[in-house]
Structure 1
Amino acid sequence: MDVSIIIVNYRTPQLIINCLKSVYQHTTNLQFEVIVVDNDPENGGQNLVQAEFPGVRWINMEQNVGFGIANNRGMELATGKYLLLLNADTLLVDPVIETFYDRMESRPDIIAAGAMQYYADHTPIPYHSSFNAIHKTMYLVPPGALFTRLLDRLFPEPQYQDPNECDWLVGAFIFLRSNGFAQTGGFDENFFMYGEDVEWCKRLGQLGKIYYFKDCKFLHLENNNPFRRTDISWINRFGTQMQVSNLLWVRKQFGPFTFLFLMLHYLSMIPVIYIWKIVLNIRMGKKPFGELRQQGLYTKKVMVMTRYFWKILLNKRYLFKILPSENIDLQARL
């Protein structure tokens, strides 16, 4: 088998059907298998997908275990020389899988590679490709050249001879050698959603180079999910689940002191953002304690982070999935 394609399903059978139609349309010169891991089998997605694609191998999980664990179960059963982790809400627009296969065959130094994400209207999706790039976004500093230069100095971008080389790949499309999974064990199963692709790429990068083939693309429809961030602002740039996962990643990759510093930063910003907004309201002639919605959302999110503080600090084995009552983003949406 040339390639094993692993897709995680969570109430998205029609998206998977559309995705697989694009896969079969644009992949005609390789032997490939499709493995779908279903995080919500009671939803009935298996019958819908296998009615269209009876050859799909289907794995039912007992509960929603998240992105990383589900992909690991699929990779455990894969027989392909290469593995492709593909989001359900993606579409291929050309023979990108065949291109990746040929390039990886000619480049044994590359352990994993990704393609560029585009929206449904074929405009590019902004992305980060280095650990320091995502790390910088986690600090809440005033916008402006001074603080930008400070963060750039503290977290410099890595320098590669080849501009296509990078630190990490977006989990929506990761093409890797099967031994990459065998030697690393796949995603860290403490992650429920978000951050697991960053952490895994750190370990994959110890086996070989990580690449973006920037002339290759796929469409990412970015299907809504209950953990997606809402009401985005300067102080609420991350969703609650995303930020808990980011903190877990920071603890694992940069150690306990960086994690402690980041938590102290978030806690200390609570009075700062309230005072700043109150002063701004007074200067603009508004009610001093009006329009504090963003400050309230931020405070609630930080309080959720503190509930996982000790488990993250002590690097406990635990599935870091927030509770429904802790999903501030979903509550703000309702």
Structure 2
Amino acid sequence: MDLTELIKLSNDYGKNEDYVLAGGGNTSLKDDKEMYIKGSGTTLATITADGFVGMDRAKLNAMMTAGYPQGDTEREAASLADMMAARLPGFEEKRPSVETTLHNLFPFRLILHVHPALVNGLTCGQDGATVAEELLPGEFVWIPLSRPGYVLSLLCRKKLAEYKEKYGKEAQILLLQNHGIFVAADTREEIDTLMNHVMERLRSKLGRTPDFSEASCDTKKAESLKRELAALYSPNGKADLICNHEILSLVASKRAFAPLAAAFTPDHIVYCKAEFLYTESPDLMDVKFREFMDKNGYAPKVVCVKDFGAFILGDTDKEIATSKMLLLDAVKIAVYSESFGGPLHMTPELIDFITNWEMEAYRQKVNKE
């Protein structure tokens, strides 16, 4: 299959930070028998033909009616094994996207799945589903909060069938609560048209955008905190500081910090961990840091401090840069969600599931390499 069109679609959207950050999002191209989908751990901005995985659609179709175990661990292991077995000859060493079975559900050639902050302002909003129907009446399928992977594919299969029964046509826009958007079409031109339409409708509803203008803080104290946090993080730890007006507003008090107190989407868990450390007492940083680690079992990737902003921690410059992008994404979502009923975070149960999910652990591992 000629992947030129798929590569161009992937690179164009992947290089646009309004749509894709780090290794997020995925794309696919299919015919009746085969599907080529982004490999897990690859990056849309730079992906080439080698980054896609060829899949047997008949085997993927069979997965949707397979009798998998009910337990989470057993079900995910069995469905992952079948997904790996559905790889075409020559792709046995590559790992397909976790959302491969979901891509396969759409009867369209091209699929674009991305996590734009603007879209997630809606999908992570208390009134997201209601506002979506107001802005895009009859144009989309809304998927309520769900565990990812095979369970999500089953839910989407059901909702897509209900849409077809109701409207007499196939759905081309899928909005997933606390996750992102799928757009499906037979041509690149139609993908762009649909995506632009959604973004324009959402912009029409926005009350405000984030104020990322640079702010000031006690520079000498900030440098001291950076050194302390880097040492607390790990023997080779590094730290950076983001200090802008929006973040300073969000860290002004524990109440103001509430929009950032839990994860919005799986990407935030993968790249920034499930929770940030917040403190109004920087002089007690070592105590607060150890309390956080005792409670959560991991060191924070983001430490938010009143009057300073957000400190980003990691072992490498790449880790810090990626976490910084995802933190700013979370801030955007928090602000955008104000226009869609206020912030709605993932549930503690789902956060725990994703934190311990093998497929997301794989993405975390790749990000560190």
Normalising by structure 2, we get a TM-score of 0.27
Normalising by structure 1, we get a TM-score of 0.28
